[in-house]
Amino acid sequence: MSTQNVLFDAPGPRARRNFAIGNAVGVLLLLTVLYLVISRLGARGQLDPALWKPLLTSRSWQYYILPGLQNTLVAGAYSIVGAMVFGLLFGVGRLSGSRAIRWFCGIVVEFFRAVPVLIMMVAGWLALNQLKLIPAEMTSLVAVVGALILYNGSVIAELVRSGIHGLPKGQREAGLAIGLTRNQSIRSIELPQALIAMLPSLVSQFVVILKDSALGYYIAYAELLRNSRLLGTDGTNILQTLFVAAAIFILINFSLSRFAEFLARRVGGATSGKTRVGDVPNTVTTIGLEQSGTAAAKRGLEHR
């Protein structure tokens, strides 16, 4: 008997009919909403093909969309790398054997997880403009990247901590048994396994980082959303430009998810620990030799 049959009853004919009716009603409501939206947009002239023509020109892509996409990817790349480093350091720090380190890392992680990203962006941007530590044209990028690193790095730190806690206790006990310290066991044995196990959650956080980079619009960072709004305002077709920006975001995030699935399959296959075929005969032969040696020793004692 399968686990599914034990935990859940299979739906009968009446339940399946109710499910089918519910799905049909849901699809009908969705189609009705789409029809109303499209009809309303058509009545206001938003479906006019002429509104899409500015998006087909090289000027729109050269001066608005592509520069905005580049800035989004730059901020996302810096933020992803920085958040990973921050998350690994503070996630492992929260598992340190030192109570002071655990308290310090816990306070930092809980604080930056509680502060909204937009507030950190605005505060960082204002502080950088007042202190004038970096060129003015770099303040928006640094504020966006810094806020994304602090917030998402804190979330990744919690993922690291929970991922290591979710491993079987035998992993750490095995590391301690071969002479490793607690910190060495975490770094060498537990952390690599936890990273593989939490890879889907990490990818979801990377998607959040890319989407939250659009908040840089509020501090004049020329990312994809801001440039798309400027282009739409200039050409009075803001709905169409935002649709293109949304399609680009979806494509990037979908590609990132697919790459993560491919990486998980590769890494999971390389670390699955499957026994090679050639290892079995060697083990059997060794056991056979040991048994033969023991039998020969016994015969020698009997002859004596």
Task: List the domain boundaries for the chain.
Answer: 74-223
Cα 155 from Cα 86, distance rounded (Å): 10
pLDDT of 7: 53
Over the chain, what is the mean pLDDT?
80
> How distant, in Å, are the alpha carbons of 8, 9, 41, 265 from that of 1?
12, 12, 55, 30
Cα 94 from Cα 129, distance rounded (Å): 34
Q: Does domain 74-223 have CATH number 1.10.3720.10?
A: yes
pLDDT of 255: 87
Instruction: Give the residue among 121, 101, 125 at the shortest CA–CA distance from 112.
Output: 121
28-66 pLDDT, tens per residue?
Answer: 999 999 999 888 888 877 778 888 888 888 888 999 999
Cα 204 from Cα 199, distance rounded (Å): 9
First to last CA, the chain: 59
pLDDT of 154: 94
pLDDT(210) > 60: yes
